Homo-oligomer: A and B are copies of this chain.
Amino acid sequence: MQRVAVIGVASSTFGDHRTTTTRALGAETVQGAMEDAGISADAIDTAYVGCALTGVLDGQESMVGQIVLRELGITGIPITRVENACSSSACAVREASIAINAGESDIALAFGIEKMLGYSTNRVMDVLTGDGDVALEGNAGLTFPGIFAMAAREHMSLFGTPREAMAAVAEKAHKNAMNNADAHFRRAITREEALRASMVSDPLTIYDCCPISDGAAAVILASEEVANNWQGRVVWLDACVLATGEYEFSDLSRFSATERASKIAYKRSGYLPGDIDVAEVHDCFTIAEIIHSEDLGFFEKGDGGFAVLRGDTQIGGAKPINVSGGLKAKGHPVGATGAGQIVEITKQLRGELKNRQIKDANVGLCHCMGGFFGGDTGSVVVSILSS
């Protein structure tokens, strides 16, 4: 298997795009990635789009990729939607990298898009239930805040993780998002505010939960052969691995899909957890960042919360996590999140992020999770990139 190169990236702002159409938001973002790569539309020979639930909300279930790309005159080529809940566009990037490795494509586009605002919270929560097993979980009353609250309690009980650790994740996310013009929430909060905020699902307050966001993100990938002769900036996608979890409601303090996907990604890339200079981790809830940071091998099991309190995951710490603000504060337009992480880490490795640039960042990791935490529907994509 060869490495695949990232030759162009772009992201919309994550936040409120109610006044924009899906096609306009998507086309503008894809256009941005083409400009970033310095290519025209006819250079793209294959496209994958990640989109999770917009179709359930607005009725445009199919053809989102084709509709966005017809705006740019990109027709004729294979265009495929990939859907794996919150990891949809991470999976789109993966399929694009597989197509390149199979010799099906030289230059492939992967993008994600989601428009979730403009509906009642109840309606969106109802649709989000469809990211887990509706019959066995959702219909039994288990919501995403519910399952992550259970995971938080398990982690607190087993390892003594203090609630302050989760509040510290929220504080960091909001602080980092202050330096990200594309983030949904650009407002600092204190740890105390997070702890005192409205309770959603004990022990998770409103500040422990990521928001409902609109957004799009696009990545252009090229084969190693194309990239070796490329005039522009190249970042290498050394591994892009998908794994599904096991049924593990008996122990919610770990997530096997993250362990499995990251182990394979480390092996394929040749990098170890200690080599990762910067990471975007799927912090749909603050406790998720803590648990996944352990399962990714960044910290010993049970030490994730204390690592946050030590400042290890801050900019300037040993293992900066979610420098973008993460899902928590950058926002979580479900189907766009995975591609958005690749955009962020690519820019980090190109050294372009100015006020949130990690010094000498050479190796980065993206972790994106779809489906139910605890259930064997949970699907994780781990990507490792290097400059």
Contact = CB atoms under 8 A, between A and B. Distances in A.
Interface string A123-148: 00011011111110010000000000
A247 interface: yes
B78 A244 contact: yes
Interface in A50-97: 52-53, 55-56, 58-63, 66-67, 70, 75-85, 91, 95
A350 interface: no
A21 interface: yes
Contacts of A134: 58-60
Contacts of A129: 59
Interface stretch (A33-41, A99-107, A167-175): A99-107
A59 B95 contact: no
Nearest to A23: B135
A257 B66 CA distance: 13
Given A59-B126, A63-B132, A101-B102, A246 B76 contact: yes
Interface stretch (A227-235, A285-293, A371-379): A371-379
B133 A78 contact: no
A189 interface: no
Contacts of A77: 243-244
A55 B130 contact: yes
Contact of A98 (B99, B133, B377): B99
Given A75-B244, A376-B70, A130 B61 contact: yes
Nearest to A85: B62
A63 B377 contact: yes
Contact of A135 (B21, B243, B260): B21
Contacts of A243: 76-78
A180 interface: no
B1 A102 contact: yes
A212 interface: no
A370 interface: yes
A371 B58 CA distance: 17
A130 B62 contact: yes
B62 A84 contact: yes
A243 B104 CA distance: 12
A84 B83 contact: no
A82 B66 CA distance: 14
A22 to B, nearest CB: 9
Q: Of residues A59, A62, A84, A242, which shows the largest number of chain B Cβ atoms within 10 Å of its Cβ?
A: A62
Nearest to A380: B78
A256 interface: yes
A245 interface: yes
12 contacts: A21-B135, A59-B127, A61-B130, A62-B84, A62-B371, A76-B243, A76-B244, A76-B245, A78-B243, A80-B84, A82-B83, A98-B98
Given A62-B84, A63-B371, 20 more contacts: A1-B103, A21-B135, A55-B130, A58-B134, A59-B130, A60-B135, A62-B132, A63-B372, A66-B371, A66-B377, A66-B379, A75-B245, A76-B246, A76-B376, A80-B242, A81-B82, A81-B83, A81-B84, A98-B98, A99-B102
